[in-house]
Structure 1
Amino acid sequence: MKYNLKHILLTGVLLCVGLSGRSQEKSELKIVLITLDGLRWQELYSGADPKLITNKEYVNDTIGLKKEFWRSDEVERRKVLMPFFWNTIEAIGQLHGNRKEGSKVNLTNSMWFSYPGYNEILTGVADDARIHSNNKIDNPNRTVLEFINNSRKYKGKVAAFGSWDVFPFIINEKRSGIPVNAGFEPATTNLTSREKFLNELQEQIPSPWSSVRLDAFTHHYALEYMKKKHPQLTYIAYGETDDFAHDGDYEAYLKAAHNTDEMIKQLWEYTQEDSFYKDQTIFIITTDHGRGTTPINTWRSHGKNIVGAGDVWLVAFGKGVAQLGEVTDEEQLYSNQIASTIAVLLQEVYTIEKAGSPINVLSNK
């Protein structure tokens, strides 16, 4: 389904929570923020890239990959690549960032790589002066996760999970007090039988990378924690898409995107079955940076010298989210608006100086 914003009274609305909700319902809102590291808007909106899926430099089994992910029509291609996004989210939520249709989402930082991108998403402020590497330094900036966790209403109700081992520093776990399970960290404290199994399995299954674990572990640690602790604000950061791209493995990059789509579906289905989350949860999904397209080998890369690496995307669905589907009118959104949007949805006044403004949110009265 496509939706023309000319038919919307409030153009550019990201999240439109119904005006008739009662104050009790407002307090029950939960948010799941998800990032897919370095997933290009091109694959999200057009599916497999025709210049890459048959390129033997980046694909070992071109015949098998085409059978799985190639369709001549790009709408069908994107559906086979990310079926939950295009068979479910499009019908119940909104998708921003298809630049072919005039919908733009951009970074405001000029670094265009991971730590600066995550800092911008999570704080609402680009900080090029201090956040200009991927080094493991504690973030001097407060994230929206920390801001919400410091509120009296949500204290102890925030949690984060990431595949990259830098997330405890990005979120500043020591200062914020937010539990962060990232990199190769095991689950701790009052373990369920499934968490014990995940801990054992994580030690036995090697990752291709020294600083990033496989996303399945991040996913299932997060899901088990949600079942056990029921946080009201959960952040989950998947990482495989970026690392497989850096490896030049387009086949694995596509399969990682496809697998993550299924994981997000599983999370959504869980929230709609659990009484704590059912009909009270909003999902917000985005990416920390884009990737190149021309010349073709720049799909592996990002950074300020890579054209297009600042082009990103944004998806939202769940309780009260306006069903815009794929946005097909001209608009300009920025990653620095996400943090304040989350705060407003949770009815907190976001006081972080210079943070981007909320994305035309209408909260319950």
Structure 2
Amino acid sequence: MKQIVCLVFVLFAQAEFILAQKAPENRVIVITTDGLRWQDVFKGMDTILAKKKVYHHGDSLAIFTKFWDNDLATRRKKLMPFLWGELSKKGQIHGNRALGNKVDVANPHWFSYPGYSELLTGQVDTAVNSNDYKPNPNTNFFEHVNQLPAYKNQVVAFGAWDAFDRILNEKRAGFPVINGYDVYPNLHADPQMKLISSMMSQSFRVFGDVESQDVFIHFQAMQYLKTKKPKAMYISYGETDEFAHEGAYQHYLQAVHNFDSWLKEIWDFVESDPLYKGRTTILITTDHGRGDVIKDQWKSHGKKVQDSHEIWFAMIGAHVSPLGEVKQATQVYQKDLIHLLADKLQLKFQSERKE
């Protein structure tokens, strides 16, 4: 009898090992930067905006010196060298409307909470109509994967804006959403995380209490990525939107440039770590566009601002074909992106409304 029990135990252990070996190794990182226009991504700096004193604040020379070139390809690469260098060779970039490659939000509001909700839930809920909206009743992609055995307790989100705990419905979703000036004491066992948190709490709050500076979110996210090794991660930066609203074009361009350098840092780590290399799919996009036809509307977005429904996205990593700049005339919507990502990860996801 004891031999039979032992045999059953051995067979059970072997079965568990085989299942573990077959467990999905796919990893995913979604990265957004708030309100970055497709015009800047595909065309580089805008000379009309750069020449306006109200936007360059007396130092247009610095903008032109750093970011201008007569050649469009060179110009946009000056602004985003990683996107138009390594990513364009190994991944794909969508949304150049000058070539008929269109990416749009499908929600009718054209601002942040509805945009992030559409992106992360893969559908449009027109009732989500305010940046002050309650915790999202719609389940999101990261909430879904956190319920899967292969990803359980391996999911995390970092966001500069303090609305993400509502957008992702942290309490219901069951994974940490570290946003704004949140303090997570359980992360302070790591001296680096504790130091970053202390620096953030004591820093000047450039954007008030609702949004931290991107540099703190980035360093927190990178430290977590390197030490905790999550299987699914979301990172959201915000300065591209904040500086645009302020009409500070030089700072806006620098925020874009910084964002690009952080993309490179994330990608370089992914490629250097055996847990991530060849297994990680990265989606990069934004929540909404901004004005362009009426140049002075570049500071704004929303239903009354032309062009602010127009967005872009890029992908790189596992299961992503190296298409570069996609030039075919197509139409993609923001709500499609998370499903495109899920398909590449061989996951099925459908948002549910839970009041």
TM over 0.5: yes
Q: Gaps spanning 5+ residues in structure 2: where?
A: 1-19
Q: Does 1:116 align with 2:107?
A: no
Give 3-state SS (helix, strand or coil) of 1:181's partner: strand
2:70 aligns with 72
Give 3-state SS (helix, strand or coil) of 1:272's partner: helix
1:150 aligns with 147
Which amino acid counterpart does residue 54 of structure 1 have in structure 2?
Answer: K
State the 1:24 CA deviation: 5.9
Q: Does 1:239 align with 2:242?
A: no
Give 3-state SS (helix, strand or coil) of 2:185's partner: coil
Q: Does 1:285 align with 2:284?
A: yes
Alpha carbons 1:187, 1:221 under 8 Å: kept: no
1:302-357 deviation digits (Å, cap 9, x = unpaired): 00111110000010011131010001110111110122223333332223369xxx
Which amino acid counterpart does residue 126 of structure 1 have in structure 2?
Answer: V
Alpha carbons 1:29, 1:280 under 8 Å: kept: yes
Q: Does 1:33 align with 2:51?
A: no
Matches within 5 A, 1:2-17: none
- Equivalents in 2 of 1:180, 1:114: separation in Å? 17
1:186 aligns with 183
2:206 aligns with 208
Alpha carbons 2:319, 2:344 under 8 Å: kept: no
Q: How many residues matched? A: 331
Q: Does 1:43 align with 2:18?
A: no
Give 3-state SS (helix, strand or coil) of 1:32's partner: strand
Q: Which entry has the higher C-alpha Rg, 1 or 2? A: 2
Which amino acid counterpart does residue 140 of structure 1 have in structure 2?
Answer: P
Q: 1:88 aligns with which of 76, 86, 89?
A: 86
2:17 aligns with none
2:9 aligns with none
2:171 aligns with 174
Give 3-state SS (helix, strand or coil) of 2:119's partner: helix
Tell me which moved more, 336-345 or 38-47. 336-345
- TM-score, with normalisation over the residues of structure 2? 0.90
- Equivalents in 1 of 2:141, 2:174: separation in Å? 13
Alpha carbons 2:94, 2:313 under 8 Å: kept: yes
2:49 aligns with 52
Q: Gaps spanning 5+ residues in structure 1: where?
A: 1-22, 355-365
Alpha carbons 1:148, 1:343 under 8 Å: kept: no
Which amino acid counterpart does residue 70 of structure 1 have in structure 2?
Answer: W
Q: Which has the higher helix share?
A: 2
Tell me which moved more, 338-347 or 251-260. 338-347
Tell me which moved more, 203-212 or 309-318. 203-212
- Equivalents in 2 of 1:302, 1:312: separation in Å? 12
Q: 2:159 aligns with which of 154, 159, 162?
A: 162
Alpha carbons 2:94, 2:326 under 8 Å: kept: yes
Q: 2:130 aligns with which of 128, 133, 142?
A: 133
Q: 1:197 aligns with which of 190, 195, 198?
A: 195
Give 3-state SS (helix, strand or coil) of 2:234's partner: strand
Alpha carbons 1:187, 1:195 under 8 Å: kept: no
> Could you say what the CA RMSD is over the residues aligned between the two structures, in angstroms?
1.6
- Equivalents in 1 of 2:73, 2:338: separation in Å? 31
1:80-130 deviation digits (Å, cap 9, x = unpaired): 0000000110000000000001111011001000000000000011111x2
The 1:289/1:26 distance shift into structure 2, 3 A limit, reads farther
Q: 2:100 aligns with which of 99, 102, 106?
A: 102
- TM-score, with normalisation over the residues of structure 1? 0.88
Matches within 5 A, 1:248-263: 248-263=247-262
Alpha carbons 2:217, 2:237 under 8 Å: kept: yes
- Equivalents in 2 of 1:282, 1:315: separation in Å? 11
- Equivalents in 2 of 1:215, 1:86: separation in Å? 22
The 1:353/1:179 distance shift into structure 2, 3 A limit, reads closer
Which amino acid counterpart does residue 235 of structure 1 have in structure 2?
Answer: Y
Give 3-state SS (helix, strand or coil) of 2:107's partner: coil
- Equivalents in 1 of 2:339, 2:207: separation in Å? 33
- Equivalents in 2 of 1:342, 1:189: separation in Å? 31
